[in-house]
């Protein structure tokens, strides 16, 4: 699809893939809103630094405005890249930040607007980590009742609404 708005790039989590449930649910919304879409494949890349380099390189090759969307490690990767390169915005889901052993990947200040969505029952990354990051970056923050995957029907429906609001906020590209 040729679009004047820009391109939305999805980054999946460590245990997922480029066609995961959340990506399949959100991608059509971006397309319907007039955005081109891309979903990078990080399978087989366990090192967060390599994932960051891959997304950074992809971003530097784009000629249209870029929105980054990531889940878990993909959200942390998106945040790290949004510090290094100018993107239009980031939509971060269950962001894997402030994780012991991965302090080198704690996000730095973002160069764009951000929306963070997290489940208060997240058993992998405490929601307080995302709340801390949202407060530090003055990002929009939404807390859902779901777990880390946010894969239950209610969380997915709410995630879609929040993503649509995010897209409306970036409608000018």
**Cα separation of 92 and 101, whole Å?**
21
Banded pLDDT at 172 (limits 50, 70, 90): low
CATH topology of domain 7-169: Rossmann fold (3.40.50)
Strand order in the sheet with 7-11: 36-40, 7-11, 66-71, 89-93, 113-119, 140-144
The string of pLDDT tens digits covering residues 41-75 is 999 999 999 999 999 999 999 999 999 999 999 99
The string of pLDDT tens digits covering residues 68-126 is 999 999 999 999 999 999 999 999 999 999 988 777 778 778 889 999 999 999 999 99
Please, what sign has the CA dihedral across residues 79, 134, 107, 98? negative
Domain ranges of the chain: 7-169
Give the best-scoring range by mean pLDDT among 19-23, 114-118, 168-172.
Answer: 114-118
pLDDT for residue 1: 42
Phi, psi of 40 (to 5 degrees): -75, 150
């Amino acid at each position: 699809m040729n679009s004047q708005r820009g391109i939305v790039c999805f980054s999946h989590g460590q245990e997922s893939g480029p066609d995961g449930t959340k990506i399949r649910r959100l991608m059509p919304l971006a397309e319907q809103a007039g955005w081109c879409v891309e979903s990078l494949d990080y399978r087989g890349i366990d090192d967060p630094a390599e994932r960051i380099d891959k997304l950074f390189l992809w971003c530097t090759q784009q000629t249209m405005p870029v929105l980054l969307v990531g889940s878990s490690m993909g959200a942390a990767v998106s945040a790290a890249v949004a510090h290094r390169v100018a993107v239009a915005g980031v939509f971060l889901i269950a962001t894997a930040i402030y994780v012991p052993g991965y302090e080198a990947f704690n996000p730095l200040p973002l160069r764009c607007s951000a929306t963070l969505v997290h489940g208060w029952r997240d058993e992998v990354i405490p929601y307080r980590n995302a709340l801390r990051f949202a407060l530090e970056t003055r990002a929009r923050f939404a807390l859902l009742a779901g777990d880390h995957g946010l894969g239950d029907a209610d969380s997915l429906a709410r995630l879609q609404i929040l993503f649509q609001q995010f897209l409306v906020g970036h409608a000018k590209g």
